[in-house]
Amino acid sequence: MRKKVSKSSVKTKTIPHDVADQLRTPQEMAAYLDAWLVEAPDDVAGIARALGDIARARGMSQVARATGLSRESLYKALSENGNPSLATVLKVAKALGLRLHAEAA
């Protein structure tokens, strides 16, 4: 006879997913940020977090050197609860080789 397994006894194993691992090329990084800007233009925290994901993919130490900011301040500003200034966003975008642009809505 086969033993019946209840759904509550089956455990699902999950592993953490880091989008930074998927951002390999400048084109992928630009497309990722652009998707946030188009799909969630009012989600300031999400856009900052997307910049943080891209910075981690590139290497936070490298981005920190290029911006003249500390790694710690970048991690904080580009975290889920961060609130970076426009100056920080522009410095990070430039350090990442990204350009922000505007278009009529």
Segment 41-81, tens digit of pLDDT: 999 999 999 999 999 999 999 999 999 999 999 999 999 88
pLDDT at 26 over 70: yes
Residue 25 CA, chain-centre distance (Å), reads 14
Query: What pTM value is reported for the model?
Result: 0.81
Q: How big, in percent rounded to 5, are the helix, strand and coil portions of the chain?
A: 60, 0, 40
Going by C-alpha positions, the residue among 63, 66, 38, 43 that lies closest to residue 52 is 63
Higher pLDDT residue, 32 or 4? 32
Tell me which of 101 and 84 has the higher pLDDT.
84
Q: How far is CA 84 from CA 6, 33, 75, in A?
A: 48, 16, 10
Q: CA 66 to CA 35: how far, in whole Å?
A: 25
SS3 at position 105: coil
The pLDDT of residue 7 is: 60
pLDDT at 9 over 90: no
